[in-house]
């Protein structure tokens, strides 16, 4: 079954056009950073070295490791941060990026997104079902009693019913937030000093920002985004009732959009009802593989979430069934 191309009806198109006007009236795009494969791109100064997160220099910490400004699990190979020390790099990897990886694992597998050690695999806790990527193709192993997947050979669709590995939603938000700070122009970093301490706190319950909700968009079909793109949008009018800084992160089939908390710049709107709108993307206007799906995800929970379930359906051209035993 070929998916139906998506093109919005006129009333939806009018909403998209009005939203574009609203974004242009309230925000200026100040950065668009692409990364993936290719020649190395460096952020920060190699000499002298100073960490943009903890503020320590080479007298107080080390800078021996290769720090990726955007996590490798999203597909970044070439955007390297000179201004991230080894201690912060280790902290981010264990306490933040590990949770982002677990949250995105089913999507990364189904979209063939390569990680640090190649294409990731997915398997159920009982070991009765697993998916591996071998030479760009899916290899699925399943016991007869397992109900983790459904295949419709007539429609040529495969549906995966997945359960995420235990993860902390607030750590996922912190990981996204850290990506925004990693590419932030250096002259704007003083606007985020008060939340840098919160970013480095292991106790997630202390001092979270007011908004940890994100727009999460899934774009169906073959991977539409190669590598990773990070955009930053700065508020034009400092008296406007909108957040100071918006961040958009696009990788493979997934796009995140959220406000980067800035107590320094958002003091006037603290505690007030603010307006945040999803930034339209080109796939909202036409996409041959179906309608992009957007939902608002609340990542404020500081507890470990287990048994978080979902489903993904994909089309295929050919499948070969092999029976063992």
205 located within any domain: yes
162 located within any domain: no
Residue 207 pLDDT class (50, 70, 90 cuts): low
Q: Say how far apart CA 306 and CA 272 lie, in whole Å.
A: 33
135 located within any domain: no
143 located within any domain: no
Q: What percent of the chain has pLDDT over 70?
A: 93
Task: Identify which has the larger pLDDT, 325 or 40.
Answer: 40
163 located within any domain: no
125 located within any domain: no
- Expressed as residue numbers, the domain containing 44 is 10-120+168-303
Please count the structural domains in the chain. 1
Q: Say how far apart CA 96 and CA 168 lie, in whole Å.
A: 9
286 located within any domain: yes
Q: Say how far apart CA 104 and CA 96 lie, in whole Å.
A: 13
pLDDT digits (tens, 9 = 90+) for 291-320: 999 999 999 999 999 888 888 777 776 666
pLDDT digits (tens, 9 = 90+) for 213-250: 999 999 988 889 989 999 999 999 988 899 999 999 99
pLDDT digits (tens, 9 = 90+) for 87-124: 999 999 999 999 999 999 888 887 777 777 777 888 88
198-201 CB contacts, 8 Å cutoff, 24+ apart? 199/53, 199/174, 200/53, 200/54, 200/88, 200/91
- Is there a cis peptide before residue 302, judged by omega within 30 degrees of 0? no
Residue 10 pLDDT class (50, 70, 90 cuts): very high
**Would you state the structure tokens that stand for residue 137, as one six-digit string?**
């193709």
Give how far Cα 43 sits from Cα of 35, 185, 311, Å.
12, 9, 38
Which residues partner with 43 through β-bridges?
A: 81
19 located within any domain: yes
Q: Say how far apart CA 70 and CA 31 lie, in whole Å.
A: 15
């Amino acid at each position: 079954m070929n998916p139906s191309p998506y093109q919005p009806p006129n009333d939806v198109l009018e909403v998209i056009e009005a939203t574009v006007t609203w974004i242009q009236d309230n925000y200026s795009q100040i950065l668009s950073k692409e990364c993936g494969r290719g020649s190395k791109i460096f952020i920060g100064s190699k000499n002298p070295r100073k960490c943009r997160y903890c503020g320590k220099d080479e007298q107080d910490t080390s800078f021996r490791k290769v720090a990726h400004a955007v996590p490798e699990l999203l597909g970044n190979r070439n955007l390297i941060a000179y201004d991230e020390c080894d201690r912060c790099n280790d902290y981010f990897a264990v306490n933040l990026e590990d949770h982002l990886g677990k949250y995105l694992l089913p999507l990364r597998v189904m979209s063939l997104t390569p990680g640090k050690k190649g294409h990731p695999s997915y398997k159920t806790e009982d070991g009765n079902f697993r998916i591996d990527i071998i030479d760009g193709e899916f290899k699925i192993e399943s016991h007869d009693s397992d109900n983790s997947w459904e295949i419709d050979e007539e429609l040529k669709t495969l549906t995966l019913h997945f359960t995420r590995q235990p993860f902390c939603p607030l750590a996922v938000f912190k990981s996204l937030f850290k990506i925004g700070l990693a590419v932030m122009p250096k002259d704007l970093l003083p606007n985020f000093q008060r939340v840098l301490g919160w970013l480095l706190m292991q106790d997630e319950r202390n001092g979270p920002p007011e908004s940890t909700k994100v727009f999460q968009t899934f774009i169906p079909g073959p991977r539409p985004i190669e590598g990773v793109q990070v955009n930053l949008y700065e508020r034009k009018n400092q008296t406007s009732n909108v957040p100071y800084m918006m961040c958009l992160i696009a990788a493979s089939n997934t796009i995140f959009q959220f406000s980067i908390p800035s107590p320094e710049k958002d003091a006037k709107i603290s505690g007030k009802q603010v307006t945040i709108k999803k930034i339209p993307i080109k796939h909202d206007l036409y996409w041959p593989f179906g309608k992009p799906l957007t939902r608002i995800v609340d990542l404020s929970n500081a507890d470990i979430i287990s048994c978080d379930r979902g489903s993904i359906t994909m089309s295929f051209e050919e499948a070969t069934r092999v029976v063992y035993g």
